[in-house]
Amino acid sequence: MLNIFNRIMFLFGEFYDVMDTSHRTNELFSEHIKVFSKKKFELLLNKYSFKIKKRYYYFPDKLSERRKLQFICNILNALKLHLILPKLFALGFLYVCEKVTGEP
């Protein structure tokens, strides 16, 4: 997601991609959309008549081998900021949706 963490990492010339670090040895997510904002995703769901039933937001327990980044990760997880302010702190999301039809 285009969260505050990834935006700061962009300033340092880096990008943290949950899919790349979780699946480095296979092609499972090679065509996966990797950078997407919460707002754009919800607009897309609405455009195609999907009702959001449940939202899940993700931030990993282990972020980096670098101590400073892992320290920040530990703080974010302890405060559950990815659940409180997902558009700023979640590194990924999963939505459970239902297709809305015009039929009763």
95 within some domain: yes
The enclosing H or E element of 93 equals: strand 92-99
Q: Is the pTM of this model over 0.85?
A: no
DSSP state of 14: -
Number of domains in the chain: 1
> Cα–Cα distances in Å, from 17 out to 50, 51, 69, 72, 104?
26, 27, 14, 16, 41
Tens digit of pLDDT for each residue in 85-102? Answer: 888 888 778 899 999 987
Query: With 80 as the cut, is the pLDDT of residue 15 above it?
Result: no
Tens digit of pLDDT for each residue in 44-70? Answer: 899 999 999 999 988 888 876 778 778
Q: Which of 22-26, 38-42, 91-95 comes out lowest in average pLDDT?
A: 22-26
104 within some domain: no
92 within some domain: yes
Dump the DSSP string for 46-74.
Answer: HHTTEEEEEEEEE--S---SSHHHHHHHH
Cβ atoms 64, 26 nearer than 8 A: no
pLDDT at residue 52, as a whole number: 95
Structural domain harbouring 61: 4-99
Pairwise pLDDT comparison (79 vs 19), residue with the higher score: 79
Q: Which two tokens stand for residue 12?
A: 């340092």
30 within some domain: yes
Per the prediction, the chain carries an average pLDDT of 76
